[in-house]
A and B are shown apart, each in its own frame.
Chain A
Amino acid sequence: MSAPPSPPAGLRIVIAEDAAIMRDGLTQTLARRGHDVVAAVADAEALRQAVAVHRPDVAIIDVRMPPTHTDEGLRAAQSIHRDHPQVGVLVFSQYIEAQSAAELFAGAAGGVGYLLKDRVADVSDFIDAISRVAAGGTVLDPEVVRQLLSVGRRAEALAVLTPREREVLALIAEGRSNTAIAGAFTISPRVVEKHVASIFDKLGLPPSRSDNRRVLAAIRYLES
C-alpha cells in the first residue's frame, strides 16, 4: 500500500487511549503519515508523565479512561493545557457533550481540539485536525457546532444571519481558516472575508484579523 505524501515535518505526538486496538491503529496510521508517536499510553496519569517527559507537539486524548471511565481524559487535557501551553491537546470521544467542549475551551487561547472518535475514519481530515491543533489552532467537532447553533435562544439570535452566513459561522466554529472555508464553498477568500465581517457585525462581536481569535470569539459566542 502506498501512503499518501506526508507533511514535510512530522509531528511529535503522544496518544492516550485505553483501547489497545485504537491506540495501536492510530500509532501505525500516524507513523505511516510520517509522524512520530513518542508515547502511546492507556491512562491519564501515564499521559501526564509522557507529556512532561516528551514535550510533544500534540497529545491525542480519549475522554473515558481508567479508573472511573468518565472524564479523566478531559481533566488531563485541561491540566496539560494549563501546565504545558505549547502542547496542543486534541480530545476525542465516543460521545460528545457541548458542555465538555465548553469546559475544554474555557480560557483556552488555542491549541485545543474536541472531536468525535468517529472522525478517525476520515484519516486525512483527522490528521489535518491534529496538525491544526499542534500549530496552536482550534478544532471543534461539526456535531458540537450543530448542537450549539440549534440551541434555543441562540438559534433565535442567529436568525439575523443569512443561510450562507450560518454555514460560514459553522465552519469558523469548527476551526477552519478563511482559506479552508473558501475551498469548502468554492468561493474566493475575499468573499469569505466579507461574510465573516458581516457575521461579526450582526452578532456584535469585535472584528479580528487573526483566524484563531476569530474562532475562539465565535465559539465563546455560541457557548454563552
Chain B
Amino acid sequence: MPATYSLIASNTLSSSASFVTFSSIPATYTDLVFRISSRNDIGGATYGDIAFRFQNDQGAFYGSTMVRGNGSAASSVRYLSVDSVVADWSQASNGATASTFGSTEIYIPSYLASINKVSSVFGVGETNATSAGIAVTAGLYTKTTAITRIDILGGGGSFVSGSSFFLYGIKNT
C-alpha cells in the first residue's frame, strides 16, 4: 500500500475535447496514476481505444502490448514504434448505451527516473449490451526524460462532455 495517494489535478469536460493535457506535473512523487471515466465519439463501435503520450513527444518512441476481449473473441496485439501508447478497447465509444462511460486506470511508475518509461493500463468500455470491450496493456516510452507533461488522447475521436480525468501522485515513503 502506498504511503500517499494524493490528487494532483482533475478535470471533467464540459464540452467535447480531442485530448486532455496535464502539464507542470510536480516532481514530488514516485509514481503517477490516472483514473479516467470516458467515452469517445467514434462511429458505431461500443468500445474504443484510449492513448497517451509524454512530453508532447510525437515521435515513434512508443510501444504497447495488450490482451483484449469482448465476450466472444480474445486476442493479443502489439504496436511498435508508434507515436503514443495505445490501449485498445479501453473506453466506451459512440455505439455504447447512452450516457455510459468506460473506466480506465493508467499506472506510470518511476516517472522521474532516468530510465525508459513503462506503464500499465487496465480499461473497460462499459455498455448495456452483450458485447463489451476490456483490455490490459503494457506501455513503453523509450526515452529517459523525467515526465512533466502527459496528453490523454481520445483514441482517434474526441472525448465527449462528462468524461472525467483524475491524476494522482504516489509516494513510496
A, B bound: no
Binding site for B on A (CB under 8 A): none
